[in-house]
Amino acid sequence: MEGSKRRVLILGSTGSIGESTIDIVKRFPERFEVVGLVAGRNREKLLKQAQELDVKNYVLFSERGLEGIKELIESTDFDVAVCAISGSAGILPTYWASRKGGRIALANKESLVCAGEFIKREAKEIIPVDSEHSAVFQCLVGERKEDVEEIVLTASGGAFLEREDLENVKPEEALKHPNWDMGKKVTVDSSTLMNKGLEVIEAYWLFELPLDRIKVVIHPQSIVHSLVVFKDKSVKAQIGIPDMRIPISYALSYPERLELGEEMKLNLFGLSLSFLEPDVERFPCLKLAYESLKRGYPYPIVLNAADEVAVELFLNGKIRFTDIPKLIEEALNRADFKKPETIEEVVEIDRRAKELTLEIFRRFH
């Protein structure tokens, strides 16, 4: 990065990842400048960000739609695009940013879950921002791919790791993650283990390993962010406090590392770590994610679409917590879509799968 600032485009600037990215940029104004902002509906926050960062190129999705986002991406010269639009809404913006060139700092896992083939084909460079995938990426630096036996993604287990009466879980309870500060959708997905299921599919595309070599363990402390097991049975792990600014800073500055403050330092004294096997009977969303990828495309698209609908229904009090995986499984069983051949077909399958899920909901409620 010597000699010039790295130009940063933030897709999803008003969400938690976007705000954390802006925090890093503000800490290192000599290294980064924001050249474009995209937000969903929070006009007031977007305008405030644009003013603070002196950014002239910004778009609000609720006012200008996807075409407005596409125009901004295509007209903005950037070195790094932080792709942090939540859910399937981020698929096309991530794809367009990939086609433009530059680095993709990927925080929108749904892009690879639904359109991994198309985005990998276009992207010049992808550095993952999700803490688990960033950890794997860091563990693989300097290693040979053929020496990797398996990767192990850690999951906190969410808010209900030891709770028995899952059918009585209320939305406000599911939104209280014990370790991480995340958006509503991701927080609920964490509590159902669907977030980890989506991350398994994301890892499949990022690291190009067979599905049976991508494992998941429950790690309630959220200190070990993921591990890599090599064929000599040695294990590398990346550990740190649960703060997204660490993987974000790494994705922005790679191959360099930024000097973050002492508040980011992990206190090793008295640290107690534990690892548990996931209970896929109580939390079947993880199993459904593996099964969707085994069945092949378009089933991961259906999985993600059905989950988005189910989580929204749960948050609105329309279904119980335990109905989320039931609704997703029914959508997977009823889906009859062809494998997508274009990015536009991916988006169309996503739309139709959401309609299918709503039809199933209305039929049984």
Helix (H/G/I), strand (E/B), else coil: 251: helix
Question: Does the annotation list 338 as a binding residue?
Answer: no
Which residue intervals of the chain are DSSP H helices? 16-27, 43-53, 61-75, 91-100, 109-122, 131-140, 171-174, 184-192, 194-207, 245-253, 285-295, 299-315, 323-334, 343-364
Return d(Cα 355, Cα 37) in angstroms, integer. 30
| 16 in a labelled binding site | yes
Confirm whether residue 40 is marked as ligand binding: yes
**Is 168 annotated in some ligand binding site?**
no
Is 17 labelled as part of a ligand binding site?
yes
Residue 195 labeled ligand binder: yes
Residue 33 is assigned to a ligand binding site: no
Torsion of CA 268, 271, 277, 279, to 10 degrees: -120
Residue 177 marked as a ligand binder: yes
Task: Tell me if 292 sits within 8 A of 303, measured CB to CB.
Answer: yes
- 15 labelled ligand-binding: yes
74 is in an annotated binding site: no
**In Å, how far are 44, 66, 114, 220, 278 from 119, measured between CA atoms?**
32, 17, 10, 32, 30
Query: Is 296 known to sit in a ligand binding site?
Result: no
Q: Is 317 annotated as contributing to ligand binding?
A: no
The contacts found for 121-127 with CB under 8 angstroms, 24 or more apart, are 122/95, 122/98, 123/98, 124/98, 126/206, 127/103, 127/250, 127/251, 127/254
The annotation status of 48 as a binding-site residue, yes or no, is no
Q: Are strands 32-39 and 235-239 parallel, antiparallel or unpaired?
A: unpaired
| Residue 249 labelled as part of a binding site | no
109 annotated ligand binder: yes
Q: Is 156 annotated as contributing to ligand binding?
A: yes
Q: Is 132 annotated as a binding residue?
A: yes
Binding-site residues from annotation for Mn(2+): 130, 132, 199
Binding-site residues from annotation for NADPH: 14-17, 40-42, 108, 110, 183
Binding-site residues from annotation: 14-17, 40-42, 108-110, 130-132, 156, 177, 183, 190, 195-196, 199
Binding-site residues from annotation for 1-deoxy-D-xylulose 5-phosphate: 109, 131-132, 156, 177, 190, 195-196, 199
